[in-house]
Amino acid sequence: MSTNKMPFHVSANRLDSHGSLARCKNTEIRLDTDLAGNVDSFNPAELLLAALSACMIKGIERVTLRANIAETLPA
């Protein structure tokens, strides 16, 4: 029997030839899916790097909270 401890639901839809929109929980992120590029949204590589950065930051915050050193770190 398998139980899903970390359920995720993300949807992404193409808006037009210049971009797409991803939705998760109560937020949206514009995606650069234009072949010419779009400076107003994340391209796939930038989005992947942002997600990796968020995972690293969240992991560091968990460790610092357990070690009680969060108050000594700059915001």
Q: What is the pLDDT of residue 18?
A: 92
2 occurs within a structural domain: no
Domain count, the chain: 1
**pTM exceeds 0.75:** no
The 8 Å CB, 24+ separation contacts for 41-45 are none
Mean pLDDT of 16-45: 95
pLDDT tens digits, one per residue of 24-37: 999 999 999 999 99
Q: What is the pLDDT of residue 3?
A: 73
pLDDT at 64 over 90: no
5 occurs within a structural domain: no
20 occurs within a structural domain: yes
62 occurs within a structural domain: yes
65 occurs within a structural domain: yes
Q: What is the pLDDT of residue 74?
A: 64
Query: Who contacts 42 (Cβ-Cβ below 8 Å, separation ≥6)?
Result: 29, 30, 31, 32, 50
